[in-house]
Structure 1
């Protein structure tokens, strides 16, 4: 789990496999909500899961939008096909 979050965080920062990483992070967050924070209620002040829900929304946004134009995967698409 920690390895997925560390490597996944690096992938998100540099822009490699962003959609796959976003899906993995969403799964991890859903698991955290239901197994750790669900009984504490909604609000984060009481150990709840509202912040995790916001993080899920952010990761799903990354899944839908993909990596940006400054990412490594975007710059790899610009390489002419004869150089690949």
Structure 2
């Protein structure tokens, strides 16, 4: 076990647990799934209940897999897809920086996920124990291409921005 393995473990666990916590909140805190569904409807992700449930489950499952370092390229793809959808639907009109509710956070999480897919999850991971090996260009390509296709596909199929949003962007 090396310092790199320890660093990857810290990065994976911090990122994965944070993402899983976001999914947990969507289901069980605040307005729970019903409130999250209303919010998803309000930003144009329809049907809101299905989108809220799908996002929460993907955040929880992808976050846990990423933290454990298991099926790392697929977990990274889930994170990339989630961050594309979040950045486009909730943050793109606010600029880059998070202090203005911009897409900076989404960008950083996607890059972290891709970076871990590129390097591999390290020796302190279930992928290593299962003999799945270390990061490869293939793992990076899977994470990037599957994440981008899933995120854009989700937007193409389910994003229907509210009328006020479409009027202001077409002016």
What root-mean-square deviation, in Å, do the aligned CA atoms of Structure 1 and Structure 2 show?
Answer: 1.5
Looking at structure 1, the residues matched to 65 and 78 of structure 2 have their Cα atoms a distance apart, in angstroms, of 12
Structure 2 residues not aligned, in runs of 5+ = 1-54, 132-171
Give me the TM-score of the superposition, normalised by structure 2: 0.43
Count residues with an aligned counterpart. Answer: 78
Which residues of 2 match residues 28-47 of structure 1 at below 5 A? 28-47=82-101
1:5-54 Cα shifts (integer Å, max 9, x gaps): 11111111212111111011101101111111011111111111112111
Q: Match of 1:69?
A: 123
Which residues of 2 match residues 4-83 of structure 1 at below 5 A? 4-77=58-131
Say if 1:38 and 1:49, in contact at 8 Å, map to a contact too: yes
Structure 1 residues not aligned, in runs of 5+ = 78-84
User: Which aligned segments of 4 or more residues in structure 1 are displaced greater than 3 angstroms?
Assistant: none
Name which structure has the greater RCO, CA cutoff 8 Å, separation 6+: 1
